[in-house]
Structure 1
Amino acid sequence: METNVNKDAGSTCTLAVGTYTLPMPHVEGKGAGIYLLDFDASTGRLSERAVERAANPSYLTLSKDGRRLYAVREVNAEDGPGVSTYEVDAAGRSLTLLGDLSTPGAWPCHVAVDEELALLLASNYLSGEVLAYRLDANGVPAGEPVVLEREGSGPNAARQEAPHAHCAVFSPDRRHLYLADLGVDGVVRHALDASKVIKTPDRFLDAAPGAGPRHLVFTASGKHLLANYELASTVRMYRLADHAAELVCEVSSLPEDFGGESGAGGMRLHPSGKFVYVGNRGHDSIFCARIDEAAGRLTPVGNWSLGGRTPRDLAISPDGKYLLAAAQDDGFIRVYAIDAQTGALNDTGYTYPIPTAVCLEFIQGE
């Protein structure tokens, strides 16, 4: 690991940034790996601490206990896709590689983990399947995966010629996993029997034809599921029950007067549970909606310009005071202050250079 230490850390936490380091059809990777940045919670400023060299560590996720960071290796099948597991030091400011698992398929673009279930989910965008791995005693995925595959396509011939798994997540009650398949316009539910994944799905939430589901987030109560649709630039809210999933609200993440091309990017829930934020790639803005779980309603709050191309991912500081947005194609992270009452964003005017950033993940140390 190459280290550039910020000696005056102050009141900081760590931001891990996944980047593209290699050429891809949709981007020319210019990053160096996983960047660890000090984030000063009092000023909203970033500074580089270290870089962990890796090939296309595009998406990252942190274990709930904060001790493990998982990163996909988003490459073609012949180039060795996989998932790397890192130990996070007690201060949350350095990484040690614990294991590197080669995975079947191509272009793993998302990873999720649950320590209590001892399961890890890796979503292969290009080849379309979701891989479910057991975690060993060190929290490292091992063995042969349960492979969740679908068939079908959607009306968008350029993007939906086949299944394209974009994300898979565990429900808060640990009874199901949900996966978003952009290629077949569906959010699919699989049951969990303790830590066993049932391969046959038990529910399929249809999307509007050509909508292309991308990311999934559970509300604070766990009683609703939010799904953002990349190709339609919409967010849907579903009320969940054991034997039903009712669509209760849908909003556009784009302004009414926008007539150009845009696609949804990352989606993040505010720590308060009151707001959800989505990046618009094309309109190049950040959208916010207020969440009312009792009424089953999403109310648009507004859109804020990124000032750069392709807001690929977002992150919200652990104290809920700041939102950070990565401009993948213009190579920077912009910092906004969040109004705690309304959810509105206020541009601090501050940006930090990071090449081809794909994923932002805060790490809290002890």
Structure 2
Amino acid sequence: MTFHGLLRPGAGPRHLVFHPTAPFLYVADELDSTVTVCAYDADRAAVTPGQVVSTVPDGVRENLPAEILISADSRFVYVSNRGHDSIARFAVEADGERLRLVDTVSCGGQWPRHIAVTPDGRWMYASNQNSNSVTTFRVDPASGPAGEPFATPSPVCLLIGGTTG
């Protein structure tokens, strides 16, 4: 599957995530601070771009989205915003075909390069590359992530293992 020439010029697709049960995927567009919702036909490996939504509030300049992920219950899509230093939370609507920006939450540091969620969906981590910290968030299904950073040298990627017990 290639995205060359598929998305808008200047979008700059960086990462994508597939919806686990619906025929859609979500692309974090680094250069224009958006997410593109795409229909996905697995039989033909065909991608059809649809809705485009901003990852930051109106008026924010100089932002580069990085990581994108979908919650374990498929109700939310999260995007890390480098520059705005936030995590955008989108509600997944219309059976996966649309996203609605719910809010942005401070990542607790600078330049959130990567975010990860535990398999049970209760915890999120943001690696804040330029402030040498990782923020641990408790994820409330109703109000989203909230947490405090802890220091660690230049974090850029997080790996989350399975749960035990």
TM-score (norm 2): 0.89
Structure 2: where are the runs of 5+ without partners? Answer: none
Q: Secondary structure at the match of 1:326?
A: strand
1:277 aligned partner: 78
Structure 1: where are the runs of 5+ without partners? Answer: 1-177, 180-186, 188-203
Match for 1:330: what amino acid? S
Q: 1:315 to 1:306 in 2, by over 3 A?
A: same
Match for 1:322: what amino acid? W
CA–CA separation in structure 1 for the residues paired with 2:40 and 2:121: 26
2:162 aligned partner: 364
Query: Of residues 116, 120, 132 in structure 2, which corresponds to 1:319?
Result: 120
How many residue pairs end up in the alignment?
162
2:153 aligned partner: 355
CA–CA separation in structure 1 for the residues paired with 2:16 and 2:96: 20
Q: Which runs of 4+ in 1 moved over 6 A?
A: none
1:213 aligned partner: 13
Per-residue deviation, residues 53-102 of structure 1 (Å, max 9, x unmatched): xxxxxxxxxxxxxxxxxxxxxxxxxxxxxxxxxxxxxxxxxxxxxxxxxx
- Tell which structure's C-alpha radius of gyration is larger: 1
Q: Give the alignment's Cα RMSD to 1 decimal.
A: 1.9
8 Å CA contact retained: 2:24, 2:96 = no
1:337 aligned partner: 138
8 Å CA contact retained: 2:51, 2:98 = yes
8 Å CA contact retained: 2:132, 2:154 = yes
CA–CA separation in structure 2 for the residues paired with 1:232 and 1:319: 32
Within 5 Å, give how 1:27-42 maps onto structure 2: none
1:22 aligned partner: none
- Could you tell me how far 1:245 is from its partner in structure 2? 2.7
* Residue 286 (structure 1) aligned with residue 87 (structure 2): yes
* Residue 246 (structure 1) aligned with residue 48 (structure 2): yes
Higher RCO, Cα 8 Å, sep 6+: 2
Per-residue deviation, residues 97-139 of structure 1 (Å, max 9, x unmatched): xxxxxxxxxxxxxxxxxxxxxxxxxxxxxxxxxxxxxxxxxxx
- Could you tell me how far 1:248 is from its partner in structure 2? 2.6
8 Å CA contact retained: 1:224, 1:293 = no
